[in-house]
């Protein structure tokens, strides 16, 4: 398995929207590296042909009818907002378009 580098941790922090100080980067690189090293025991296995399990039980086709259920009261919704304007959630300027 690839070993974890400091720049990987910095990249991941950016993806996860977390700010890391220099010392935090060092600490996280070491700690996460330990967990990944421990996980290297999986690497010794021949898992060719083994199916991945994402769900414990194989339920299929769980659906609901296309029927209305009550929405939340608008005032309750907006009361949760850290900032709101005109019945909408207000955020500081957005720098880029959605992907």
Partner 1 sequence: MTLRDDWEMVVGLEVHTELKTNTKMFCGCANAFGAAPNTNVCPVCLGLPGSLPVLNVRAVELAMAIGTALHSTISPSTFHRKNYFYPDMPKDFQISQYDLPINAGGYLDLPDGSRVSIERAHLEEDTGKSTHLGGSGRIHGADRSLVDYNRSGVPLVEIVSGPDIRSSAQARTYAAELRGILIATGASDGRMEEGSMRIDANVSVRHSGDALGTRCEIKNLNSLRSLVRAIDFEAARQVELLEGGATVRQETRHWDENLGATSTMRVKEEADDYRYFREPDLVDLVPDQAWQDRVRDALKPMPAERRAVLTQRLQDPAPALLDALEVVIDLGLDPYVIAALDAAVAPDLALARAANEIASDLEHVENLSIESYVATLNMEQSGALSATQAKTVLGEILANGGEPALIAQSKGFERLASGALGEVVAQLIEENPDEWSRYSAGDEKLAQFFIGQVMKLTKGQANGKDVIAELQARR
Partner 2 sequence: MKSVRQTALDVQHGDASALSVLEESLARIRARNEELNVFLYVDEEGARAAANAIDERVARGENVGALAGVPVALKDNLCQTNIPTTCSSKILEGWRPPYSATVVDRLVVAGAVPVGKTNLDEFAMGSSTENSAFGPTRNPLDTSRVPGGSSGGSAAAVAADMTPLALGSDTGGSIRQPAALCGLIGVKPSYGLVSRYGLIAFASSLDQIGPLTKTVTDAAMALEVIAGHDPLDSTSLPEPSPSLVAHVEDGVAGKRVGVVRELIDGADEEVVAAVERAVEVLKEAGATIVELSVPEFRLGLSAYYLIAPAEASSNLARFDGVRYGLRVDAEDVTAMMEATRTAGFGDEVKRRIMLGTYALSAGYYDAYYGQALKVRTLTIDAFRRAYQEADVLLGATTPSVAFEFGSKTADPMAMYLSDVFTIPSNLSGEPAISIPFGIGEAGLPIGVQLLGPGRSEAQLFAGARVLEIADGRP
Is 82 a binding residue for partner 1 by CB under 8 A? The answer is no
Query: What is the nearest approach in angstroms of partner 1 to the Cβ of residue 23?
Result: 24
How far apart (Å, rounded) are the C-alpha atoms in residues 22 and 86? 41
What are the residues facing 84 on neighbouring strands? Answer: 89
How far apart (Å, rounded) are the C-alpha atoms in residues 72 and 96? 30
Query: What is the nearest approach in angstroms of partner 2 to the Cβ of residue 20?
Result: 8
Query: What is the nearest approach in angstroms of partner 2 to the Cβ of residue 87?
Result: 14
Residue 60 interaction partner, one of partner 1, partner 2, none, beta carbon < 5-8 Å per kind: partner 1
Helix (H) or strand (E) holding 85: strand 84-85
């Amino acid at each position: 398995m690839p070993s974890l580098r400091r720049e990987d941790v910095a990249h991941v922090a950016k993806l996860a929207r977390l700010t890391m100080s220099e010392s935090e980067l060092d600490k996280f690189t070491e700690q996460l590296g330990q967990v990944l090293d421990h996980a290297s025991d999986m690497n010794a296995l021949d898992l060719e042909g083994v199916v991945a399990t994402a769900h414990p039980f194989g339920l299929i086709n769980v659906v609901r009818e296309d029927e209305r259920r009550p929405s939340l009261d608008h005032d309750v919704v907006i009361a949760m907002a850290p900032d709101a304007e005109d019945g909408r959630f207000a955020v500081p300027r957005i720098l880029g378009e959605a992907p």
